[in-house]
Amino acid sequence: MYNYFMLIGTATAYEEGKLTMKVNREFKNAQGVFDTDVFEIDTWEINFKGRTFLGEIISVKGRMMPASNNGGSVRLVAERIMFSTTREGED
């Protein structure tokens, strides 16, 4: 078994420890438009070093954890965030 997720989308909001991102679906709906899903991701384990990234395309790799003991829903926990662009002085 493997507990893993990978999302690529646009960072839309960030509050201490919680990232919100929009991800377009791969396929168009009946009206010919790409639907967008919104995900909230726990980022407690990530150090952003003061970087601002809202509006940027990012990739998030992480794991899923139960949201509660009674099952049903999951929390997304980021283990790594990759930025689509680099800034001066960054590696």
Residue position matching structure tokens 């590696």: 91
- Please state the domain count of the chain: 1
Residue 77 in any domain: the answer is: yes
Residue 56 in any domain: the answer is: yes
pTM (two decimals): 0.79
Residue 40 in any domain: the answer is: yes
SS3 89: coil
Residue 49 in any domain: the answer is: yes
Residue 63 in any domain: the answer is: yes
User: Domain containing 78: what range?
Assistant: 5-83
* Residue-by-residue pLDDT tens, the chain, 91 positions: 789 999 999 999 988 889 999 999 999 999 999 999 999 999 987 777 767 788 899 999 999 988 877 667 889 999 999 888 765 555 5
**Residue 59 belongs to a domain with what CATH number?**
2.40.50.140
Residue 90 in any domain: the answer is: no
